[in-house]
Structure 1
């Protein structure tokens, strides 16, 4: 696969009948759901799950999101959703990127980008990342050399 960044966390997905809209392709909102699933799966694979977030009273919340829908996908297409952490200030913010690739021909069908901010769960207010977040997330950050 021609991934935008090295060593993606890969989340395989396949559009089901309920994912298909009136234009006979995967509805754009489904890609957003898949990105959320992939982001959580990556965080859990790194060692931070929802229980850890609750224990620390901190979470990485989506502050902004952008998706570029490049090609349609359809019922039964085998897709690979790669995700990476691509930037952080090491204190409050991180960036997560996504690339959805059709397994059959390697075509990139969607790219996404999240701007994340660390919040205190109880108040919803921005708070500095706890040491445990820094210890887990910062080593996982890859470079952002890919052109926009």
Structure 2
């Protein structure tokens, strides 16, 4: 990825998004809750692309669950905008915890940034449990160095 890319980190997983009229709230722009839904959708798509789907989570009785979520809404999106939602896995302790980050762009302009702190849980009990080997083998190689920022800036 060249230095002129607007992404915060290298090697993003990216989905194209076009907001629909149903996404627009009373303030005339995309509702913040819709951004949260888009983040969930791109996170699942990224995980599946890496090789771990919801079916795999169920079979392993393990899941990466959101412990904490933070979103910075920088600029509004409108119906019909051509958007790109990028995501990365940016940290892991290779035991219980992982960090996923998001960046929503219209052209080269960042509209939203998000960060999830994830914890591995046993799905049947909801309790924190060590990541299974399949998680480590799939997610660890996908980690990007959050210190190696791309062409974008952290406003």
Partners of 2:13 and 2:61 lie apart in 1 by 25
The match for 1:60 is 64
TM-score using structure 2 length? 0.92
Q: Does structure 1 retain, via aligned residues, the 8 Å contact 2:24–2:30?
A: yes
Instruction: Give the secondary-structure state (helix, strand or coil) at the position aligned to 2:28.
Output: coil
Partners of 1:77 and 1:2 lie apart in 2 by 17
Partners of 2:69 and 2:17 lie apart in 1 by 20
> More relative contact order in 1 or in 2 (CA 8 Å, sep 6+)?
2
Instruction: Give the secondary-structure state (helix, strand or coil) at the position aligned to 1:109.
Output: strand
Unaligned runs of 5+ in 1: none
Task: List 4+ stretches of structure 1 deviating above 6 A.
Answer: none
Instruction: Give the secondary-structure state (helix, strand or coil) at the position aligned to 2:95.
Output: coil
Q: How does 1:93-104 map to 2 (within 5 A)?
A: 93-103=97-107
Instruction: Give the secondary-structure state (helix, strand or coil) at the position aligned to 2:139.
Output: helix
The match for 1:112 is 114
2:42 paired with 1:38: yes
Q: How does 1:1-148 map to 2 (within 5 A)?
A: 1-103=5-107, 106-145=108-147, 146=149
Q: Does structure 1 retain, via aligned residues, the 8 Å contact 2:11–2:144?
A: no
Partners of 1:9 and 1:55 lie apart in 2 by 25
Deviation for aligned residue 1:11: 1.2
Partners of 1:12 and 1:67 lie apart in 2 by 19
Q: CA RMSD in A?
A: 1.0
TM-score using structure 1 length? 0.96
Unaligned runs of 5+ in 2: none
Instruction: Give the secondary-structure state (helix, strand or coil) at the position aligned to 2:141.
Output: helix
